[in-house]
Structure formats: C-alpha cells, structure tokens
A and B are shown apart, each in its own frame.
Chain A
C-alpha cells in the first residue's frame, strides 16, 4: 500500500499551466525529494497537497482516502503537515507557543472547560507544553523556547518550522527548501534531523536545491520541469537520466 498516490494532478492559474498531469506514488517511511529548476511547479504541488491551492484536474489519495478538495485544516487532521519556503512563523508568539498551536486539533477540551480552568484543561495544557518542548528539543532549539519566534536566527526559524510541523504529529511531512540560506554545517544538521524524522516512522517529501543533500538522503527523487514530471527514480537513476541533465544544463550537455 502506498501512503500517498498523486494521479494526473494538473493545476492551471488562468492560462498558466503550473503543473501538468503529474503522477507519482510514495512509500511509507521513505524520503522523497522533488527537484527541478526554478518555476518548475514544486511549491505549487505542495500547495495542492496541503489544500492551499485547489487541483484543476486529477486526484490525490492519502492513506486510501481522497484528500483533493479538502480545506487545509482537514488535510492536517488527515496527517499531512508542511513547512514553507518563505518562513511563515507566528512571529510575535514565543517559539514554544508556535509549536503548541500545531497541536490544536489534538486538544480536546472545549470553551467552557477553558473558561472554568478545569482539571482536565490544566492537564491537557501541561501535556501540550511538555510535548511542544520535546519537539523543540528534537529540532535542537529548546533553549529558545520562550523567545519570540522573530528573534531567532534564520536557521533556527527554519528549524522551528520543522518542529511546529512535527508537533502536528503527521504521517507525512512536506519540507519546502528546509536548508535555503543555510551554511554547510547548518545544512548537515538539518540532514541529520530529517533522518531522525524518518526514524520516528514518518514519511518526508522534500523540495531542495542542495544536490549533495538530495543525493545523500533521498530514497527516490521526482524531477519536475515546467510543470511536467520528466524523471523519477533512485538518486543514481536520476543522476544519469539525459532528460534531467538537459533540464538543468541544456540540450548540448545531454549528448
């Protein structure tokens, strides 16, 4: 059984064909990278997968349930969480509060028990905070728990986004350029983090430009160019695919 099954997904913005008939399947507990030149439609694909953009045509099946057309918050409840290429933190909230927000759909108490601050409410809030702290620890930023998110360094903001996505306890986590703007040592730390995420039994889809990271970590790679899937396979297969070389380096280089 595949965890995620993307079938013939097409997304048009007016006359612009952002994604055209893209299909792929993703195995449970694998790391899959989506690569492609700028404007290939990678982030649009993520937006379709997480309900931020509607699909023009095609279907997305997650754990045997159709999820295309569901609103974003329902897709999170189904088990897909994501990070953003341009960081989208709740910047005036503290780091730990950012992570606590992600557990929203797991918290069961209602309005009245919050107003009365019942024993159940207090227990639930304490657990939420503890769990949030664990995810900050996992991402290596627990020492910044009480600082406002926007006071964190760029690299740590990216890690906080990952911690926040993890706190939603998804089965599938989508990382949109998690190492953009990071130095080599920070990048290798994120690489370790991604491997740990897989060890937790989660599946990862990655958009990434750092080829060393992509080739080193991925089980499979999907290559997009101008909204079309031009190649798919193991890192070695993709590396030698003439179509991929053409897309990245031009027609001459492929021959």
Chain B
C-alpha cells in the first residue's frame, strides 16, 4: 500500500481526481496521462544529462543583438496584424519583466504586486488623457514618474521586511490598487473601465496603426535595455547585487542598503509606468481586469524563466510566456497546465533560468 502511494500512478490519479470537479472527465483523463508520463519519464530524462548551453554575455554584446534587432525591425513587413499585435504585447511585457528584474533579479527583493505599478501607469495616462485632454507624450513621463513615486511610497514601509514578509506586503499592495480602481466609480469608472483613450500622435500624425505602434514599443524596449544595462554596470548596479548577495557585508562596505533598495523600487517601477502607458494607448481602453494578481505572477514567471538577474533573460522570458500561449491557443484549456509543467521541468534542469545571471557575469 505504502509503495503504491509513492508510485507515479498514485500521484497522477490524485492530480486527476482533484481536477475532476473543475473540468469534465475527458480533461481529467488527459491530465492523468500527462502527469503519469511526466513523472515516469523524469528519472530517465534526468539521466540524459542535457548539455547546459553556455551563454556568455560577451557573445551577446556582438553579433546576436544586431541580428535580433534587425529581425524585429523587419517583422512588420512580413507579419499579419494579429502577430504584430502579439509582438506589441511582447514588448510591453518585456518592459515589465525588465523593470521587475531590477527589483527581484538585481536587488533580490521579492515583489508579488508588480501589476499594481503597471496599473498605475495605465490609469495615470487614461485619466490624464480622458479628463484633462493631455496627450501621450507629456503623459508618458508623468505616468512613469507617478508609478515610480508609488514604488517609493510602498518601498518605505515595505522594505523594513525581508523575504516572505516582503512578498506578502507587495501582494497586498497589488490587490489594494486593483480593488481601489475597481470600486472608485466616480473617478475610475470602476469595473466598466475607461474607454476612448487616444493613441500617440507625432506632429498630428497618429501612431495608432499597428505597424507604427510596433516601432514605438520596439524603440522604448531598446531604450530600456540600453539604460538598464548601463546602470547594471555602474556603482548602483554593483550596490544592488551586493545587497542581494549579502546585505550585512554590503552595509559595512559603505552601501546605504535602505536607500539603494528604494532606488531599485523606484527605478524598476518606472518601467512599469511606461509599460502601463503604452498598454493604455494601445488598447485605448483600461479596466481593472487587466491588472490582477495573475498578471504579477506572470511577470515574475518571465523574470524567473529567462534567468533571474539577467536583462536578456527577462526579455526571453517575456517572449516565451507571451508567444507560447498564442501558439497553444488550440489547447486553450490546458494552457496554464502546460505552462506550469514547463516551469517545473525548467526548475529541475536549469534552476538558474534559461540564461542564468552567473553565465552572464562570467563574461564581464
């Protein structure tokens, strides 16, 4: 009996039975087969010794970025609108992952409410635009700075906490922001959302068309990578890493740890504010539904999947987690299941993420 409980069949059966009340019998059976196959295969896959791909930052600084940028720059000429739309969302999520990576990856402060700052950016532009008639360009820095400021407001009390406790507080903050947006009817129109947000204009020329908007997002992502990489390899970046590695040693080496954690919060949430503005201007509509806890988890998954603490890893993570659900659209029901499985498999074989931070630092 005891042996049976520890067998893959028991685990798979257990998962399937738990799944049964939520979905129909057919799904439960499919899940059973998947889990059984997965668990049974795991020891053999582990023995295969999949070669870990060495990924050097020095290689990235040469040929690869140029190639990647060229490919992405040419894509609008080849792709249908639907794919462009997906790629724009990829760009927005890449910005979010880049921002969260500063907080979680560089500084080691867990944050489970990052969608709140995304929401603050989006609603700032939505409200400035629909109520005051302010355009995209003046709103962009205002929204980014406002998100950054909210990062500071959360950071001051929250950064007294560490680890799990910090995670809980940031999670709470994320929920507070979403619930306020949902219930403050007179100001945010509650669950109905705000419609009729203008796309950006350049000299009276609308960038609302997908092709143009794609290039706008594309430029902003490149600018973000540019700035974040430079800060990473400065005294600020070193201070962040030092805090992540050993906070006590960092403080005795002259780093004001509280101040630098706050800088990381302010800097990371700044990009969330920009991503929020881009999102609002693209959709021309915002509602609290877009900024749920799941969104925060998704962004965190991107950072972890790509390789925590690695700028390119965050982008890769965003790419996979935005593109993959689209590719799996036919398997809609099992999307999250497959995604979860992929993450588990990844954690077994590459716990440091697809591009680990360590691999990158070896090339410095």
Residues of A in contact with B (beta carbons under 8 Å apart): 50-52, 71-73, 75-77, 81-82, 84, 88-94, 97, 100-102, 104-105, 107, 109, 111, 114-117, 121, 125, 128, 146, 148, 164, 168
Contacts and interface: CB of A to CB of B under 8 A. Distances in A.
Interface stretch (B8-16, B78-86, B188-196, B235-243): B235-243
B252 interface: yes
Contacts of B251: 51-52, 71-73
Interface stretch (B41-49, B131-139, B201-209, B254-262): B254-262
Given A73-B251, A90-B249, A104 B235 contact: yes
A88 B231 CA distance: 25
Contacts of A115: 227, 230-231
Contacts of A75: 252
| 7 nearest CB pairs, A to B | A114-B234, A90-B245, A105-B254, A88-B249, A72-B251, A76-B254, A107-B235
A92 B245 contact: yes
Interface string B258-295: 00000100000000000000000000000000000000
Interface range for B: 20 to 34
Of residues A52, A77, A111, A117, which shows the largest number of chain B Cβ atoms within 10 Å of its Cβ? A111
18 contacts: A52-B252, A72-B252, A76-B252, A76-B254, A82-B252, A90-B250, A91-B245, A92-B357, A93-B245, A100-B238, A101-B239, A102-B253, A104-B255, A109-B235, A114-B235, A125-B233, A128-B235, A168-B253
B237 to A, nearest CB: 8
| Secondary structure call for the B interface | helix
Given A73-B251, A73-B257, A90 B246 contact: yes
Contacts of B236: 111, 114
Nearest to A46: B252
B24 to A, nearest CB: 47
A128 B361 CA distance: 18
B2 interface: no
B298 to A, nearest CB: 26
B358 interface: yes
Interface string B137-174: 00000000000000000000000000000000000000
B364 interface: yes
Query: Looking at A71, A72, A121, A146, which has the most chain B CB atoms within 10 Å of its CB?
Result: A72
A88 B251 CA distance: 11
A82 B241 CA distance: 20
B337 interface: no
B344 interface: no
